A and B are shown apart, each in its own frame.
Chain A
Amino acid sequence: MGLEEKIPDSIILTTVDKMANWAHKRSMWPLGFGLACCAIEMMSTFAPHFDLARFGMEVMRPSPRQADLMIVAGRVSMKMAPVVKTLYEQMPNPKWVLSMGACASCGGVFNNYAIVQGVDRIIPVDVYVPGCPPRPEQLIDGILKLYEQIEKESVKDKREEWGRRIG
């Protein structure tokens, strides 16, 4: 009828990279963690109207130990920066970071003493989503861009990278 007729019943040949990337990409659990205004738009994205569950991401994990993706939604203050860094370090590998909104990406309109001028000063960022706050469509686009990025990743590179980080 459907897929069952198309695939052979014995062996499928693929590469480890493709398999791993496919698995990473299709079951990504974001960390349920909101900072400011963008968090409300992030909630809208998870709500029925935009429905992020279409991309296999409906489970928000309140604990960093169970999360793969950190969406930094909002401005990071100087007082919050160590907390954000700790949360990132608590997440198990492989992990990705999406910086949502102008404040998280570059400090936004708040170029002052209180705000970290871009979250990439404290943790590595994979995708930046501009906007103040970005529309849910923009966030979804950012997530799809991250998926494209993951497809190009190689397990070998990751292993070397993590090895360096631990060593």
Chain B
Amino acid sequence: MTEQKTVTVNMGPQHPSTHGVLRVVLELDGETVIKATPVVGYLHTGIEKTMENKLYYKAIPCTDRMDYLAPMSNNLGYCLAVEKLMGIEVPEKVKWARVLLTELTRIKSHLVWLGTHALDLGAMSMLLYTFRERESIIDVYEAVSGQRMMSTYIRIGGLAKELPKDFDKWVRKVLKQVPQGMQDYIDLLSGNQIFINRTKGVAVISAEDALNYSLSGPMLRGSGIKHDLRKASPYSGYENFDFEIPVGRIGDAWDRYLLRLEEMRQSLRIVQQALDGMPEGPYRAHVPGVVLPPKEDVLYKMESMIHHFKIITEGFETPRGAVYQAIEAPKGELGYYISSDGSNKPHRVRVRPPSYINLGALPKMVEGRLLSDVICAIGTIDIVLGEVDR
């Protein structure tokens, strides 16, 4: 009888289906995975440390570069945390605009997920279709902020600038184009036997395990637990919107595929409501010395100019204490913990990255399964290495 031996395979950090630079050390017996160990840190950027050395305002661009598929959600989480620390109440219009933009961000993030996940499983043309629709959302980003990806549009106490005049036009284009595109995706994938075989019953995580691994977002809801921070602890006026929280049944990759598609539909509903009901008003809260005054005032009013100068050069002093603010980012619960020592820079910023914590369940999902299921599991978690490693 031959001796039983296992083989150790090193997957990544340069591997086309690890979504960046994830490295997984796999111990294989034939094609069966005995042990999987994710190795992270290949994109460690020191973002949390960098933010400690920046004024509160100047730390916002760092947040964009964590989850670079959903920059606006990251901005929102950080700005809400600082607003909570400072006790700033933002105008209604700002809340609605933020909801609209973060829901577009959710669709944008899910589109990239869908394209890359299908690409990993062999449906190569999906990426081309999803990036087509993604461009329409990028047009909105570009219209509001002038940047395609790293918009830094959501600021402390409001928005970077007024919504553009043709904002309505761009968003309506998204509302028209994305549902059409989604029909294409369903035609291509939902009846595709290869895709079904590769996702049904694969990468299963039970509801109990999902809770034990403290998963969040679609990973948690895919297992049938109806928990969404937009309903559980509404922020930024989500209580005003009418939408459903979809849940999966058994928590496999197929359930999560259907769930994310449904989430995109619900996001479109929210965008529609936010666009139709967008209230009039200022785009920034009026808190002199803390929130930057509107640019037009800076040019013509002495006090505004002084406030602007003071905020940009010295920042503002915060009360001592610590806050935690979590939002429902496309990938799950994105939390910011800011500890303040009373100075103009944060003493410590700690981010709770959803995809990092969701990645922790990878060994549970793949051990005992086949090697090809690892690809599916990594895809279905929807990791972004920028956020995992920070």
Interface residues of A (CB under 8 A from B): 32-37, 39-41, 43-44, 47-49, 62, 64, 74-75, 77-80, 83, 87, 109-110, 112-115, 132-133, 135
Closest to A112 in B: B46
Instruction: Judge whether B150 and A79 touch: CB under 8 Å.
Output: no
CA distance A79 to B50 in the complex (A): 18
- Chain B residues with a Cβ under 8 A of chain A: 13-16, 20-21, 41-47, 49-50, 61-62, 65, 68-69, 112, 127-128, 131-132, 134-135, 138, 148-150, 385-386, 389
If the complex has contacts A47-B127, A47-B128, are A133 and B43 also in contact, measured as CB distance less than 8 A? Answer: no
- CA gap between A112 and B44 in the complex, in Å: 11
Selected A-B contacts with CB under 8 Å, 14 pairs: A37-B68, A39-B20, A40-B68, A43-B127, A44-B131, A44-B134, A44-B135, A77-B389, A79-B44, A110-B50, A115-B45, A132-B150, A133-B148, A133-B150
Question: Across the two chains, which residue of chain A brings its CB closest to B39?
Answer: A79
The 10 A-B pairs at the shortest CB distance, nearest first, are namely A47-B131, A114-B46, A37-B68, A62-B16, A112-B46, A80-B42, A49-B135, A114-B44, A77-B44, A48-B128
Task: Establish whether residues A114 and B45, one from each chain, have CB atoms under 8 Å apart when the complex forms.
Answer: yes
Chain B residues in 8 Å Cβ range of A35 = 20-21, 43
Q: How far is the CA of A85 from the CA of B99 in the complex (A)?
A: 43
List, in ascending order, chain B residues with CB within 8 A of A109's CB: 50, 61-62, 65
Within the complex, which residue of B15, B16, B20, B148 is in contact with A36, where a contact is CB–CB below 8 Å? Answer: B20
Q: Within the assembled complex, what's the spacing in Å between the Cα atoms of A39 and B61? A: 18
| Chain A positions within 8 Å of B128 at CB level | 47-48
Assess the B14–A87 pair: CB atoms within 8 A: yes
List of B residues within 8 angstroms of A62 by Cβ:
15-16
Q: Closest B-chain residue to A36, C-beta based?
A: B386
Closest to B49 in A: A112
Q: Considering the chains assembled together, what is the distance between the CA atoms of A62 and B16 in angstroms?
A: 6
- CB pair A36 B65 closer than 8 Å: yes
Tell me how far the C-beta of B126 lies from the nearest C-beta in chain A, rounded to whole angstroms. Answer: 11
Residues of B within 8 A of A115 (CB): 45-46
Contact A110 B20 (CB under 8 A): no
- If A35-B21, A36-B386, A77-B42 touch, whether A49 touches B65 (CB-CB below 8 Å) is no
Contact A49 B131 (CB under 8 A): yes
Q: Is the CB of B41 within 8 A of A40?
A: no
Known contacts being A80-B13, A87-B14, A110-B46, is A37 close to B149, with CB within 8 Å? yes
A110 interface neighbour in B42, B45, B68, B389, Cβ under 8 Å: B45
- How many whole Å from B19's CB to the nearest CB in chain A? 9
Q: Is the beta-carbon distance between A49 and B132 smaller than 8 angstroms?
A: yes
Q: Bound state CA distance, A110 and B389, in angstroms?
A: 14
Give me 4 other A-B pairs in contact (C-beta within 8 A), A32-B16, A114-B46, A133-B148 excluded.
A37-B65, A62-B15, A114-B45, A115-B46
When the two chains form their complex, are residues A48 and B386 in contact, meaning their CB atoms are under 8 A apart?
no
Q: Is the Cβ of A83 less than 8 Å from the Cβ of B42?
A: yes
Chain B residues whose C-beta falls within 8 Å of the C-beta of A135 in the assembled complex = 148
